[in-house]
Structure 1
C-alpha cells in the first residue's frame, strides 16, 4: 500500500512539474516589447497617433502567424507624459515588467530621458519618431533610430531652397533672404541651429531668427519682427497649436512671405488644415512621409492606410503613425530572425539588417550606423498643401505632383 501511495505521489509531482514546464514554455512563445509614448497630457494627440502605427504592425504580424516560427508579440504600454514620467515608466517596464526592448516615443525629450534609463539597464531602445540629433549623437550602445533626425530636415530645407525655390524667386542664392520662426524646445532649436550652419556654408542670408515658446498664446511680436525683416522664405518649426496661431496672426498682421516651409510637427496634421482652411494652401512642409506619395516608391503604404481605417474608423491623422509602423516592421523582421528579445542579439542582428530606398512603406531604406545607431537611409520629403491635401512634391521619386508657387499673390 505504501508503495502504491508513493507511486501516486511521485506521479502527481511529475504531472505538476510537466504542467509547470508547459506553462513556462508557453510564456516563451510571447515576446514582450515595451511601448513608451505620451498617451495622455499635452503630447497625447501625436503620441497616440505614433502608438497606433506600432500597434498595427504588431497586430498584422500576429495575424500572419507571429515571428520566429509562431511566437506572438505583445506590447506592454507605458504612458510618458513628460521627461520625468519617461524615466519612471522606463524603470517600471524594465524592473517590474522584465522588458528587454522598448520602442517609442514621438517626443525628443521623452526619448532622451527614457533611452538614458534603457542604456544604464542594458535594454535596447528603438526610436521611431523623435528627431533631436542628441538622441543618437551620444553614441549609446543600446539605441537604434529608424527615422531621420532634425538635422536631416534642415538639410532638406536648404537643398530645396537651393535646387528649387531660388529659381522660382528669380534670384541668386546669395540674394535670397531666409527667416526662421521656431518653438524653443530641442526640436525647434536643433533645426534652426543646423539651418544656420548650412546656410553659412551655402552663403544663404538668414535675416531673422525668432524663437518662442510653443505654449504661447500671442506671436504678434515674432510676426512683426519677421515682417520688418521682409524675408523671401520663412522656415517655421512648430507644434500644432503654435502652427495654427502663427498662420492666423500672420494673416491678421499682414505678414506675406513668398515661400513658407514648415518642418513637420503641426504643419503636417489634418487639424492644421481644418483650423486654417484655405489659408494653408500653398504652404510647403519638410517632414516625415505622408499619404499622398508615389506608391511605387512606398510599397505597403496603401495597405497601411486600409489597416488604419479598418481598425480606427478614420483616416490617419498624420505621418507619425506611418513612420512608427515602418520602424516596428523593421524590429519585427529582426525579431523574426533572432527569436528573442535579448538586447545584444537584437542589436547585432539589426546592424546587419539592410533595406534599399523605395522598398518600405515610407520609402526609406535601412542601414544603421554602428557608432550611433542612426538609420542612415531615412530622410524627410517636401510636401505641400494643395486644395486641402498634403501631397509630396520633392524629390521627384517620391512626388505625385510638381511644387506650386503663387508668388504674384504674396
Structure 2
C-alpha cells in the first residue's frame, strides 16, 4: 500500500512538473508568435522593375518593425510573397496564399490589373486585400468589403493634372484657361485609360480644350504616328501617361520628329524613375510629373523621409529608384499599426480598426493623411504631387506645402 501511495505521489509530482514546464514554455513563446502576411507583386515579366521596387517598401517596413520589437506584444510579422506578372497569375497566387499558406491579409501590388484580379479572389474568401500602389478607380469603386487602399486613385492624379494647369500653368503661359490647348497621350491599359478619361472629363468641366487624345500599346516599339498626330494638334500642354519603356520611347521620338510642347507633364509610371532620366538624357530636364511623393521634397511635411532613405540604402546598396517603394512602406506601416492595435490579423477586426484610424496630412512619411471611406475603402487623404526633372534631379515643385522649388515653365 505504501509502495502504491509513493507511486501515486511521484506521478502527481511529475504531472505538476510537466504542467509547470508547459506553462513556462508558453510564457517564453508568448510574444514570439509569427503573424503571416501575403504579398502579391509582379516580380518577373514586363512590370518587374517597379514591382520589385514596390515590394522593397513592404519588406523594409516589416523588417524595421520586427527589429523594433514587432507588433501586438512582440509578435513577429513574416512576409509570404507571390510573384504575379499578370492578372491570371495574380488570381492563382492569391488562391495559393489563402488555401495553402492560410493567409488572412494580402498586400500589393503596384499594378491595377494585378490588384483587380487578386482582390476578386480575396473578396470571395473574406481575406483583407491592402493596395498601396495601383491606381485604377475601379479597385475601390466596386465597394468590396475587404479592400482597402492607402494610395491615391487615378482620378486624383487626373484632378492634380487639371488643377495644376488651372491654378499655375495658364498664368505662366500668359493665357486664359479657355485658350490652353491640351493633348493627352496614354498607354491603353486600365492605368493609362483611367487617368486619360478622367483628365478629359475634368478638362471639359473647366472649359479647357483637349485637342487630341492618343492611346497606344505600352508594348509598342514605334510611337511615330502618335508623335506626328500630337505635332499636328499643336498643344500647349501634353499629358503623358506611360510606363518606363514607352515613356522613354515617346520622348525620344518626340525629339527626333521635332515635337516641341511648352509644358510636358508625365503621370507617374515610368516618369518618376531614375531609369527614365537616364533613358532620355538631358532632354528629360524640364519634364514635369504628377506622381506619388518623391525624395526631393519638403521633409518637414514628410517626417521620417530621411530615415527611410537611409534604411533603403543600407539594405539595397543604392538610392531608392522611385517613390513606389516609399508609398508601399507608408501603407505597410498603416497596416502594422492596426495589427499592433488589434493584436492579430483577423480581417473583420482589422477593417473595423482601419475605418476608425485617422492621421492628419503632414504626419506620415509620404505627407498623406489617412482616413478610409467606409463605402469604398479608399484613403480620402492621399494625394499626388507635381515634380519636375531639373539638372538631373526629380524635385517636388507643387503644391507649395511640399515644394522645394518653383516649377520652371517655358512660355516660349
Q: TM-score, normalised by structure 1?
A: 0.95
What per-residue deviation string (whole Å, max 9, x for no partner) do you get for residues 141-175 of structure 1?
00100000000000000000001110111111011
Q: Distance in 2 between matches of 1:142 and 1:10?
A: 49
Which residue number in structure 1 is paired with residue 247 of structure 2?
A: 243
2:31–2:74 Cα contact (<8 Å) kept: no
Which residue number in structure 1 is paired with residue 218 of structure 2?
A: 214
Q: Which runs of 5+ in 1 are unaligned?
A: none
Matches within 5 A, 1:1-400: 4=7, 7=11, 11=15, 18=22, 22=26, 29-400=33-404
Q: Distance in 2 between matches of 1:115 and 1:17?
A: 44
2:240–2:265 Cα contact (<8 Å) kept: yes
Q: Distance in 2 between matches of 1:23 and 1:183?
A: 56
What per-residue deviation string (whole Å, max 9, x for no partner) do you get for residues 279-304 of structure 1?
00000000000000000000011110
2:242–2:267 Cα contact (<8 Å) kept: yes
CA shift in 2, pair 1:21/1:363, >3 Å? same
Other structure's SS at 1:367 match: coil
Moved more, 394-403 or 68-77: 68-77
Q: Distance in 1 between matches of 2:24 and 2:229?
A: 71
CA shift in 2, pair 1:27/1:92, >3 Å? farther
Q: Distance in 2 between matches of 1:387 and 1:203?
A: 34
Q: Distance in 2 between matches of 1:198 and 1:391?
A: 26
CA shift in 2, pair 1:48/1:20, >3 Å? farther
Other structure's SS at 1:407 match: coil
* Alpha-carbon shift at residue 67 of structure 1 (Å): 1.0
Q: Distance in 2 between matches of 1:160 and 1:75?
A: 39
* Alpha-carbon shift at residue 34 of structure 1 (Å): 0.6
Which residue number in structure 1 is paired with residue 411 of structure 2?
A: 407
Q: Distance in 1 between matches of 2:105 and 2:73?
A: 20
Q: Distance in 2 between matches of 1:403 and 1:292?
A: 13
* Alpha-carbon shift at residue 341 of structure 1 (Å): 0.2
Other structure's SS at 1:267 match: coil
Other structure's SS at 1:182 match: strand
What per-residue deviation string (whole Å, max 9, x for no partner) do you get for residues 117-164 of structure 1?
000000000000000000000000001000000000000000000011
Q: Which runs of 5+ in 2 are unaligned?
A: none
* Alpha-carbon shift at residue 25 of structure 1 (Å): 5.8
Other structure's SS at 2:58 match: helix
* Alpha-carbon shift at residue 406 of structure 1 (Å): 2.4
CA shift in 2, pair 1:270/1:2, >3 Å? farther
2:243–2:271 Cα contact (<8 Å) kept: yes
Q: Distance in 2 between matches of 1:337 and 1:293?
A: 31
Q: Distance in 1 between matches of 2:95 and 2:13?
A: 43
* Alpha-carbon shift at residue 407 of structure 1 (Å): 3.0
2:31–2:75 Cα contact (<8 Å) kept: no
* Alpha-carbon shift at residue 64 of structure 1 (Å): 0.8
Q: Distance in 1 between matches of 2:20 and 2:251?
A: 68
What per-residue deviation string (whole Å, max 9, x for no partner) do you get for residues 17-61 of structure 1?
939984996697211111111111111111110010011111111
Q: TM-score, normalised by structure 2?
A: 0.95
Runs of 4+ in structure 1 deviating by more than 2 angstroms, as ranges, are: 1-28
* Alpha-carbon shift at residue 7 of structure 1 (Å): 3.7
Q: Distance in 2 between matches of 1:212 and 1:12?
A: 74
Q: Distance in 1 between matches of 2:4 and 2:86?
A: 65
